[in-house]
Structure 1
Amino acid sequence: MTAFAQTNPITDICFLVEDIDKASAFYVERLGFKPRRRAPGFADFKGAGVTLALWEIEHIAENTGVSSRRAPPGAHKACAAIELASPEQVDAAYAELKAAGVLFHAPPQDYVWNARCVYFADPDDNLWEIYAWSAGGPTGDIDPQ
């Protein structure tokens, strides 16, 4: 058994969306989320609790190799994310969880949004991301604090 979940809190909930602009407008205009970061195919928002992120299905599929297969209308689509302190910790978590039997889509990789990430799905195909920002931090900050 691994202690991964006891030492690394869930930091982000990411909804996979068809249209980033339409979805972003809904969360800002209808629910009052404050935009935090915007990049091609991606946006995230400040709110109470964890970070809410939106990611276009085609964008995540093109960049990570994760399936772009759509659920039928009415089905829920989400991606939970755990932010770690460093890219090296992503590699360590990958090794730990792989040894525990977690099947990953691919080994950890560095992506164009300046993060090292790795992806896996649970038995019901709910997507999980483990990530850490690379040197220089996140890209696309709207209101840096």
Structure 2
Amino acid sequence: MAAFAQINPITDICFLVEDVERASAFYVDRLGFKPRRRAPGFADFKGAGITLALWEIGHIAENTGISGRKAPPGVHKACAAIEVPSPEKVDAAYAELKAAGVIFQAPPQNYNWNARCCYFADLDDNLWEIYAWADGGPVGDIDQSD
């Protein structure tokens, strides 16, 4: 079996937030992140290194079936994401990891943000996403021509 983690770098860190507008303001105004994409319930930013994404807990739960249960204050919330080159690679990664005993929320699906994704959690309920953009690429790009 190919070592999934050795050939697919972590491309995104996604924090699950209650209010994407409030969280976006913090990352832009206080930390200097530059907005890259914006869609309902979601925003992502480029900084030095990987992509930082913010996803409203209610939005991810509504669209993917992932639990929308909110952790109490002081509990850390995050989602690690791995972008693969194509929707077919999402399916291949799903098959490989499922065969290795990883339990997924559901098989890969096409979502309305123009991506094919699948989700699993580790033994401590840390959420992981494997995704690829469908034809036409990502939606919500923000023009960066200053």
TM-score by structure 2 length?
0.97
**Pairs within 5 Å for 1:1-145:** 2-143=2-143
Gaps of 5+ in 2: none
- In 2, are the aligned partners of 1:2 and 1:97 still within 8 Å (CA)? no
Q: Displaced runs of 4+ in structure 1, greater than 3 A?
A: none
AA in 1 matched with 2:13 = I
**CA deviation digits over 1:68-91, x for unaligned, max 9?**
011111000000000000000000
TM-superposed CA distance for 1:143, in Å, is 2.2
Q: Structure 1: any 5+ residue segments left out of the alignment?
A: none
1:57-108 Cα offsets, whole Å, 9 max, x none, are 0000000000001111100000000000000000000000000000000000
Secondary structure of the corresponding residue to residue 75 of structure 2: coil
Q: Is the 8 A contact 1:119 1:130 kept in 2?
A: yes
What secondary structure sits across from 1:110 in the alignment?
strand
Identity of aligned residues (%): 82
For 1:70 and 1:140, locate their aligned partners in 2 and report how far apart those are by CA, in whole Å. Answer: 26
- How many residues were matched structurally? 145
C-alpha root-mean-square deviation of aligned residues, in Å? 1.1
Residue 18 (structure 1) shift: 0.3
